[in-house]
Structure 1
Amino acid sequence: MDIVIRAAEPGEYGILGEITAEAYLRDGLLDFGESDAYLEELRDVAKRAAAAEVLVAAADGKVLGGVTFVPSGGPMADIAGPGEAEIRMLAVAREARGRGAGEALVRACVERARAVPGCVRLVLSTQPTMHAAHRLYERLRFVRVPERDWNPLPDLDDITLLAYALTL
């Protein structure tokens, strides 16, 4: 299967939004309910595309997954500081997992970060339970930066996202 990484097209926003929401919800990564505002944020690909670069992995005309690449700051950045780009909302459809789509999306973000003038690091946040993602990031030479771990929902003490960084 030949996987192509490219910019998401507006006609694909709905399917990518559902892939992203389902990946987080069905994998138990959202435990605060389907009505949660973050679930709607995951589905709102048009909003992400207006503020950052949304990429899809596609094969045989079908969207397998996607990621949001945030070049330097901007409204989509969670943890990126000066000289850093960020990966957000990486998700691959359950039926497409294990075929290299996630790795291809992360590699595309690395390439884009290297092309951003003044960018020295690529950062991301991940949930502690995302073990397959951790293995992928570590295989691609990302390292844990525990001093940058953070809680996106301060009202809920049990949610801490782990930070990873790749020096370019």
Structure 2
Amino acid sequence: MDIVIRRVERGEFAALGEITARAYLDDGLLDFGESDAYLVELRDVAKRAGAAEVLVAVEGGCLLGGVTFVPGPGPMADLAVPGEAEIRMLAVDRAARGRGAGEALVRSCVERARAVEGCVRVILSTQRSMRSAHRIYERLGFVRTPERDWNPVPEWDDITLLTYQLTL
């Protein structure tokens, strides 16, 4: 079967929120586990869908994962400035990994960015330990932009998100 990338449907919000939360929890990406405040954001697909474009990867009717495509600066952007689109919260269900869903989601975001008038690059933030995601980004032509690395929680010195960009 082929993986289909499409907009999330309202009835899938809870399932995608749980896939996203589980991916971050199971991969040890949240400092406080189930009590991490960011977990609320990861699960709140309705909020993301109201402010950006949330895409899902589906195969044979099964939800494999999702991503938030932010077409420019706005409430869902962490770093995007005018002329940039941003990719956020890429997550694939652990059981579906290695089948191309993550790469298909990123490719779809890049295609969408190319369709945004005035968009010249796609940016994203990632954690140091997300090596599988880094390989996807690099395979698709993204390059590291260490000058844009940032800390989402300034009071904690040990959290630095790495940044990548793709010039369109």
TM range (shorter): over 0.9
Query: Equivalents in 1 of 2:165, 2:137: separation in Å?
Result: 9
1:135 aligned residue: 135
1:42 aligned residue: 42
1:95 aligned residue: 95
Provide the secondary structure at the position in 1 that maps to 2:6.
strand
Query: Which 5+ residue runs of structure 2 have no aligned equivalent?
Result: none
State TM-score, norm by structure 2. Answer: 0.99
Displacement of 1:45 in angstroms is 0.2
Give yes or no for the alignment of 1:13 onto 2:19: no
What percent identity do the matched residue pairs reach? 78
1:164 aligned residue: 164
CA contact (8 A) 1:86 1:124 kept: yes
The 5-angstrom pairing of residues 76-155 of structure 1 reads 76-155=76-155
CA contact (8 A) 1:113 1:119 kept: yes
Query: Equivalents in 2 of 1:3, 1:48: separation in Å?
Result: 22
1:55 aligned residue: 55
CA contact (8 A) 1:68 1:90 kept: yes
Displacement of 1:156 in angstroms is 1.1
Query: Equivalents in 1 of 2:26, 2:157: separation in Å?
Result: 22
Deviates more, 1:29-38 or 1:72-81: 29-38
Displacement of 1:33 in angstroms is 2.9
CA contact (8 A) 1:3 1:59 kept: yes
Query: Which 5+ residue runs of structure 1 have no aligned equivalent?
Result: none
Query: Equivalents in 2 of 1:159, 1:108: separation in Å?
Result: 29
Displacement of 1:34 in angstroms is 1.2
Provide the secondary structure at the position in 2 that maps to 1:67.
strand
1:29 aligned residue: 29
Runs of 4+ in 1 over 6 A off after TM superposition: none
1:43-84 deviations in Å (ceiling 9; x for gaps): 000000000000000011111000000001110000111100
Provide the secondary structure at the position in 2 that maps to 1:157.
coil
1:121-150 deviations in Å (ceiling 9; x for gaps): 000000000011001100000000000000
The 5-angstrom pairing of residues 60-75 of structure 1 reads 60-75=60-75
State TM-score, norm by structure 1. Answer: 0.99
Displacement of 1:32 in angstroms is 2.2
Residue type of the partner of 1:140?
A: L
Provide the secondary structure at the position in 2 that maps to 1:108.
helix
Displacement of 1:86 in angstroms is 0.1
Query: Equivalents in 2 of 1:35, 1:90: separation in Å?
Result: 21
May I ask how many residue pairs the two structures share in their alignment? Answer: 168
